[in-house]
Structure 1
């Protein structure tokens, strides 16, 4: 017998080529794996890079400081700046209005007090409207509005301040006593002015506006009402809708009057605002004129707004508060956000956000002589007046409305009856309070995945068990590719069909959808029992393993029968309207595009994934195990349950987790087949909004770098973490099952 030579040149070359291929494959696989890991890490780091600014505090830097413009006019009663933070405006103690350059304090324009009388009170309608009310000793009130005209001579921006008198240069009669406290509220229909004397006498004057249809001239019709004397009164406020008047005393007692019937102004309620011996410092409206911010001498700022009670009556309710360690001297509201700043007696300035209930800055900006602070319109600047003059500070505070509690906790929003989890990122008006709770989106993601898996897992696993273990090989080779082909169907098509066809069909045949859950299993069992009792000559006509084909016409018939009998079932058991019965009798809200539709549609999309992996896992169980079990006397079913399924359990669990990951990340089906409403309700007849669907809807519309934009990146990061955790758990359990049943 000739000896084999393994060292021939051809074999050596072959071994070298094979070794080179092995090394190349090893290096290529390692590079590919590391690249995937690196790509995933880069995605994670990029998401964190976009999210991180949400949780950084505010920064403040001093830009300029100068003596008080027009010092001879006295300290400021009110100070502000225009949109570009280039021109400042202050109302001096003598009633003069001084416009000055924010950069260096140079006087741009000075408007003298239009009346010879001394200004005894000042009220600001709102920082946004620029309307001011000046009160005088003779009981008259002059309404003044500061405005800014922007021109571009020679291509250079020029801001020209001006003073307007929207109700004429003559003061209006508001009271028959010297005014020391004043409040004003203006709208398109009416103007309301509340006045008070030093002794606590108070009156309210209403000016109803009537516009001539032809000339456009507006005439005012006046009516007045006297109020009871309030001892020790400090301040007063008219509500934004001009329905209520609030008078607060120094001790913190609030008296509320109802102005809805001006011919009969009624006392509504007495509300204690403060605790203990603290004194009231300030009471003013937050932007939007819904929330009243109350500052006291202990350093506490509390938020109050009206909440409808059981009798549908509005009740001024305490919502939340923040506190500094020392007493306050001034408080300033942001013009466009729910933020405010406080100034204490030591010159410390703190900036807060009311919605997030968070402090974003606390820094000493002056000495104890500081008396007044004010935000610029964009909240990127802060004006501070003290004994030395005015200082302007640049404020970097981009995302004050975001905090851990506002994202994951319940928040009591303006106009709501109680704290809620709410996602509402935009609205039609500028007074909108952003609602960035991710809880409804995370809940909707879990809800959609749960109902999809509830439908998909039993069908996919049971179908895979039968296909891999009981079905005829020839039929298996046809069935499996068909089911796997379902995975190639675009999800946007499934979402389109679910939203426009299946959702209305399901609503019209809701009784059929529930009756089929009972009729179909019973019908299949009944047919199987009848088939088992058929003569052998008939049963032998169908080859072994092909019996499932007989069920196709049975299932189609039973489904058609349930749909056909749906009106009869509704008429006899639900008074002809099952949807009305669910809503009225059970008290369950019904939405056409709901979780039931998502369960069917998304379950249909997930079934091929779970089926294919499960079927491969079961089919890959060594035949020797099956044959050995059968040889020892076990039945096919016992072999399946006690031998095949435990051995294939790692693969089955992986299939379920991969299907769940697909359901969690699904976008188009959820987007098109649900109402896309971010609510927290596990009701199967209600819709939801998922993290993925929310990203698809709102990312294209969000402003780059805004809080909304970065919150969406945080939602993407949460989705990333969720899928990472699911996959990690899946791999851990799979390895455990592999070790446990690997000995089989």
Structure 2
């Protein structure tokens, strides 16, 4: 009688089984938790990019109750100054008694000023027609206890002879180029412009007269007496605004010529077209204007395509204020600016045309200032009290519109999607649109999959259904070895070998792309028409041996036809012909190179998974189909492939994920230019390549650093969406064919 205990599972086996079951469950949950944790970490890194500025009051400083002419602040925001109309400059520290410096003699009033925060200099126009240049001479000292002490020694360093002596100056503007200073004054309804040589006095030596190169009365070039004048920091143009809402731009042409450049009315469409405020944005390429009704617009210089010269044009409309601004200050760190209209202040960012912060106060704002480090705001009220506000706005250039919308950047001829994270000047506008990166990712993936999917699928079908096992045992391991090739090796080959080859032999490559499939189709058609007694001489599964010579001949003929076709159709130089014929560029490292090499990297993955899916189709299905009279091709395409469709789809999705996330091939084989076209002979930049290229230059916690995390999040979401859709479709196909 059999022992019943012999059929019982050993206790140790049950324990191991339970342990492994629990271990697998815990491992699965840990993977899900890890993926979710990565998602949360990336999300926390990018959330600050979409937060508004935070402003909070930190203190007050009592200044003199006099009419102010200028308000400014040092780089650190610790020692603001106030220029009073009596010519006294007041320094207002956060604690302790302030100090005053008398810049004008008794009886002479300061009637106009132009403050350059970047250079910390001040130009003063007086009631007696004099123009003085003042250097604020800010300095910082680190004390023994680690505290910083800010000091200032304002001093008049130059006097400019301009205009009519004795008549009060009501407007003054200075533009400082590397070689000379252009000064303009508004006096008795007239505008005088002069160019001064930069000498010892103008550069900070002892006070004295600056040497005048030329001087002109440019009033005749203006349609009406102006109310406000501006000179750009390059000393190249003069902007005058009159009481009718007209702006006239004059250009310095040559050494001593001032010519009429452009007139325009920024608020011509409004009932009241007058200009409430006008001033330059940081960089002096854009004008920030407000109307009495509160409309806020920005006009920037750009190349007019019809006139082929630089003109001011409206580039942005910002949300309106309650009334026209009576105070303005811009940051010298970015394109932010601060407006005030009585009892309300509004901090705005010009590039994305967004309001970073807006708040009402219980006092009348007379003047405003922003610290050089963009971390403090100062509001001056009607009683001479200076209100100190802490500003926390680490990412003003970010936001949904900056990342995903079209933005009209300075110098551009229209709104565009653009990525350029850094520039050569301090007033550079970061361009952080991720749309070109998304397009580049899809572009590279499309060309790679366009090459890889047909080749891998057809090769897998032939290997699984038609190739002899003796050859199959060599083909599949070879493909798996190809899948293990490092991306950096493939990128190296693409950059140094394939890219120069494709650049020189594009017509030959195109002939091969067309010739090889046609030769395969032609050979297949020819083979199917051969008599059975001829075809039977080659055993089933060995047919490809007959095709190899045909493929070699077709490859040779296609390659040889490249030069004659290039000479006949493309003038002997395809690279020169392509831009002329299409208007599109031709780059050596382009999408065609990436398509070939990234497709080569994806083919082994697709082939291996598809071949496994086809091989796992039950042999009974093949036998039944063949027994009913179907050919091997009909059996493969109508029975095997549909049954394995779920696995084939999974293979394509895995290959798609491989192409989307590819980095090194794209970095090395393209120009990494974030362009927005599908030109196959142009470069691109993908999200993954952008992270690799920009990360070394991204300071921790900065806007670029977090923008790269945004790119990572987009990659995460793209692959998640693709995989989710693929899984839904795969389950549908499994349900459809599970009864086969």
TM-score, length-scaled by structure 1: 0.93
Counterpart for residue 360 of structure 2: 364
Whole-Å Cα distance in 2 between the matches of residues 121 and 439 of structure 1?
46
Counterpart for residue 50 of structure 1: 45
Whole-Å Cα distance in 2 between the matches of residues 219 and 81 of structure 1?
26
Q: 5 Å matches for 1:517-556? A: 517-528=513-524, 542-556=538-552
Counterpart for residue 179 of structure 1: 169
Whole-Å Cα distance in 1 between the matches of residues 255 and 525 of structure 2?
82
Say which of 369, 376, 381 aligns to 2:371: 376
Q: 5 Å matches for 1:268-283? A: 268-274=261-267, 275-277=270-272, 279-283=274-278
CA drift of 1:710 comes to: 0.8
Whole-Å Cα distance in 1 between the matches of residues 697 and 428 of structure 2?
17
Contact persistence 2:84–2:110 (CA under 8 A):
no
Contact persistence 1:591–1:685 (CA under 8 A):
yes
CA drift of 1:96 comes to: 1.8
Give the alignment's Cα RMSD to 1 decimal: 2.4
Counterpart for residue 90 of structure 2: 98
Q: 5 Å matches for 1:188-203? A: 188-198=178-188, 200-203=189-192
Q: 5 Å matches for 1:447-526? A: 447-526=443-522
Corresponding position: 1:426 with 2:406 = no
Counterpart for residue 146 of structure 1: 136
Whole-Å Cα distance in 2 between the matches of residues 18 and 303 of structure 1?
77
Counterpart for residue 253 of structure 2: 260
Counterpart for residue 207 of structure 1: 196
Counterpart for residue 223 of structure 1: 214
Whole-Å Cα distance in 2 between the matches of residues 84 and 225 of structure 1?
39
Counterpart for residue 136 of structure 1: 126
Contact persistence 1:209–1:221 (CA under 8 A):
no
Whole-Å Cα distance in 2 between the matches of residues 431 and 111 of structure 1?
34
Counterpart for residue 559 of structure 1: 555
Contact persistence 2:336–2:348 (CA under 8 A):
yes
Whole-Å Cα distance in 1 between the matches of residues 54 and 666 of structure 2?
41
Corresponding position: 1:332 with 2:329 = yes
Change (3 A) 1:537 1:175: farther
Say which of 705, 721, 728 aligns to 1:725: 721
Say which of 224, 240, 244 aligns to 2:237: 244
1:249-290 Cα deviation digits (max 9, x unpaired): 234211222322464433333211222215422211111111
Q: 5 Å matches for 1:88-127? A: 88-101=80-93, 103-104=94-95, 106-113=97-104, 117-124=108-115, 126-127=116-117
1:450-503 Cα deviation digits (max 9, x unpaired): 000000000000101110011111111111111111100001100010011100
Counterpart for residue 711 of structure 1: 707
CA drift of 1:122 comes to: 1.0
Say which of 327, 339, 342 aligns to 1:342: 339
Whole-Å Cα distance in 2 between the matches of residues 67 and 278 of structure 1?
38
Q: More deviation in 543-552 or 310-319?
A: 543-552
Contact persistence 1:251–1:277 (CA under 8 A):
no
1:537-591 Cα deviation digits (max 9, x unpaired): 8766644212223434443443344434433332233221111111212323111
Whole-Å Cα distance in 2 between the matches of residues 52 and 424 of structure 1?
21
Counterpart for residue 7 of structure 1: 5
Q: 5 Å matches for 1:550-629? A: 550-629=546-625
Whole-Å Cα distance in 2 between the matches of residues 480 and 395 of structure 1?
63
Corresponding position: 1:160 with 2:151 = yes
Counterpart for residue 349 of structure 2: 353
Whole-Å Cα distance in 2 between the matches of residues 210 and 78 of structure 1?
26
Whole-Å Cα distance in 2 between the matches of residues 65 and 261 of structure 1?
49
CA drift of 1:413 comes to: 0.1
Say which of 2, 18, 23 aligns to 1:23: 18
Say which of 664, 684, 688 aligns to 2:684: 688
Contact persistence 1:189–1:209 (CA under 8 A):
yes
Query: Where do 5+ consecutive residues of structure 2 fail to align?
Result: none
DSSP-derived class of the 1:302 partner: strand
Change (3 A) 1:175 1:733: farther
CA drift of 1:114 comes to: 5.8
Whole-Å Cα distance in 1 between the matches of residues 279 and 428 of structure 2?
18
Counterpart for residue 302 of structure 2: 307
Contact persistence 1:452–1:599 (CA under 8 A):
yes
DSSP-derived class of the 1:258 partner: strand
Whole-Å Cα distance in 1 between the matches of residues 659 and 291 of structure 2?
52
Contact persistence 1:109–1:161 (CA under 8 A):
no
Whole-Å Cα distance in 2 between the matches of residues 281 and 533 of structure 1?
87
Contact persistence 1:175–1:195 (CA under 8 A):
no
CA drift of 1:21 comes to: 2.8
Whole-Å Cα distance in 2 between the matches of residues 235 and 23 of structure 1?
85
Counterpart for residue 627 of structure 2: 631
CA drift of 1:669 comes to: 0.5
Whole-Å Cα distance in 2 between the matches of residues 491 and 243 of structure 1?
52
Q: More deviation in 524-533 or 334-343?
A: 524-533
DSSP-derived class of the 1:321 partner: strand
Whole-Å Cα distance in 1 between the matches of residues 181 and 362 of structure 2?
38
Q: More deviation in 225-234 or 183-192?
A: 225-234
CA drift of 1:700 comes to: 2.2
Whole-Å Cα distance in 2 between the matches of residues 122 and 135 of structure 1?
6
TM-score, length-scaled by structure 2: 0.93
Contact persistence 1:366–1:386 (CA under 8 A):
no
Contact persistence 1:97–1:113 (CA under 8 A):
no
CA drift of 1:392 comes to: 0.8
Whole-Å Cα distance in 2 between the matches of residues 567 and 731 of structure 1?
47
Whole-Å Cα distance in 1 between the matches of residues 152 and 412 of structure 2?
40
Contact persistence 2:290–2:324 (CA under 8 A):
no
Q: How many residues align?
A: 726
DSSP-derived class of the 1:280 partner: coil
Q: More deviation in 710-719 or 233-242?
A: 233-242
Whole-Å Cα distance in 2 between the matches of residues 181 and 559 of structure 1?
78
Whole-Å Cα distance in 2 between the matches of residues 257 and 115 of structure 1?
36
CA drift of 1:328 comes to: 2.6
Say which of 72, 77, 90 aligns to 1:80: 72
Say which of 670, 675, 679 aligns to 1:679: 675
Whole-Å Cα distance in 1 between the matches of residues 545 and 323 of structure 2?
82
Say which of 282, 286, 291 aligns to 1:291: 286
Whole-Å Cα distance in 2 between the matches of residues 473 and 414 of structure 1?
66
Say which of 393, 396, 409 aligns to 1:413: 409
1:428-458 Cα deviation digits (max 9, x unpaired): 1111001110000011000000000000000
Contact persistence 1:174–1:193 (CA under 8 A):
no
Whole-Å Cα distance in 2 between the matches of residues 553 and 494 of structure 1?
28
Whole-Å Cα distance in 1 between the matches of residues 424 and 245 of structure 2?
36
Query: Where do 5+ consecutive residues of structure 1 fail to align?
Result: none
Change (3 A) 1:428 1:265: closer
Whole-Å Cα distance in 1 between the matches of residues 292 and 255 of structure 2?
35
